[in-house]
Amino acid sequence: MVRVITQETYDEVVKENIDEFDMSPEEAIKEAVAQFEAQGVDLSNIIKDLALSSGDNHLVSETVGKLKDLCATKKCDVNAVCTELDVLKSECNKDIAHRIRAGKDGAYKILVDLLFSKQLLMQLSERDVKLMTSALDTLTALMEMQPDLLCLRGVDLIKSILDNVENDDVLISALRWTTACCVKHEMNRQRLFGQNIAENLKLLLNVCGNQKLLSETLQVIRKLTLDDDVRVEFGKTHEHARELGAQMLEPLANLLKENTKPPLVSELMLTIASLLVRHELCKMVADCGVDAIFTVLADNYDNVAVVQQANKLITALAGNDDVKRDLVKSGMVPIIVSVLNRHSSNATATALTLKSIAALSLREPGHSKQFLDSGAPEAIVECMKVHPDNASVQKNACWAIRNMVARCREQNPKFHELGVEAILNAAYEKFGKDFGFDIKSALRDLECDVKFDEQWTGKGVELEH
């Protein structure tokens, strides 16, 4: 079991090393850390670089105290408050220990109270904007990896800012804070979704001319569809994606047509792909036109980051059989094979392209024939040779091979000519425990000698016949 200590216990040991053993502050800290680590104590939540020169309090605690005093006055000094906010943000950016300390000292409540006093102003002055953005950025730093701090009042604050504030800088900072609140916290996502911030996000998609604002809006949309909170057995990822998709896929698809250059194009494709959780949603995007994908690939053929996101989007769209057929009819197959050859040295791009081949050829003999004619077998086998130790490449290649030959056994000789059996057997030696069934499935459909393990056998107890 992991042992933990309080910040006070750590501080006392450091001071004891200085007072009783005449150590320098650096030596005292080094000795205390070594002592606790030898005892198996987890120090990840402890501030180790104790600012002894500033007295009994940490710089984090002193800064929070100053902020509290400054904000308590009726007419606070904006410049002084912003200075202390910058110090607190800098401290929180150091590590989780500093953020936990600030949270325990009440920084969250101070910042939320400060923002509530400003966000309902009819007209924000330049000083108000500066103060609000600084406070929101500090909140983001404070809540990075500790989203539990968000309370219902904070949720109301986010909604109120999105409803009432029109300044782009304030909105960008508010969206960044919202993103931090959503990571690894299912209840925060549900509370925010329950406040109907989806309507605000949809309106922000229509704001023209500010790519940074659009980028932050896309971030929040994606974070609302996460399923990363291990404390919750069943989340609402699918429901959120379904509702967001119904409202936003059409404007997102139109934005993709208008923005085909990085970095925005990658974010748009990733966001669209994250919302394609139902057949009708795939059809909705297809009805808006899939020509944009061809344009994106043509304009960014050598950009590996864009190619990766394009493959994710193609794979997601292929979840609808009608859309999959339309993609292939439009000439997607030779482009995919060309992309695979072009980026075969990049493991991530290769794995994602192989996955899109598997999706496009699933239960479609005609598509498999097109992949064969376009040189897909050579490209797939070559990628398996280039990345023999990459699990994702090997697994997705098995899927692609299996889907191509499952209903087109006449393709088997081509794969055998390329020596695929030996490559698959080598992959089984390395990854048999992880995805051995997928490898054996590919070998089976290639009509190779393969032995499947019987997963379960009955004991014949109480059988009469």
Fill in the DSSP letter of residue 417.
Answer: H
Query: What residues pair up with 41 in beta bridges, in sequence order?
Result: 3
Closest CA to 132 of 196, 91, 82: 82
Contact 332, 368 (CB under 8 A): no
Q: How many CA atoms lie within 13 A of 301 on its CB side?
A: 10
Give the mean pLDDT of the chain.
Answer: 92
For residue 253, pLDDT beyond 70: yes
Q: Could you tell me which of 144, 247, 240 has the C-alpha nearest to residue 201?
A: 247
Instruction: Please give the structure tokens belonging to residue 48.
Output: 């180790």
Least confident of 18-32, 164-178, 423-437: 18-32
Percent of the chain at pLDDT above 70? 95
Neighbours of 291 (CB within 10 A): 10
Could you give the 3-state DSSP secondary structure of residue 3? Answer: strand
Question: Facing residues of 3 across strands?
Answer: 41
CATH topology of domain 331-451: Leucine-rich Repeat Variant (1.25.10)
Q: What is the pLDDT of residues 125-173, one digit of tens each?
A: 899 999 999 999 999 999 999 999 999 999 999 999 999 999 999 999 9
For residue 464, is pLDDT > 70? no
Contact predicate 269/296, CB 8 Å: yes
Residue 54 reports pLDDT greater than 60: no
Per-residue confidence at 53, pLDDT binned at 50, 70, 90? very low
**Which residues are CB-contacts of 377 (< 8 A; sequence separation ≥ 6)?**
371, 404, 411, 414, 415, 418, 420
Check pLDDT > 90 for residue 363.
yes
Structural domain boundaries of the chain? 1-56, 73-226, 236-328, 331-451
DSSP letters spanning 173-241 = HHHHHHHHHHTT-HHHHHHHHHTTHHHHHHHHHT--S-HHHHHHHHHHHHHTT----TT-SS--HHHHH
As a CATH number, domain 73-226 is 1.25.10.10
Q: pLDDT at position 52, please? A: 44
Q: Band of the pLDDT at 208, cuts 50, 70, 90? A: confident
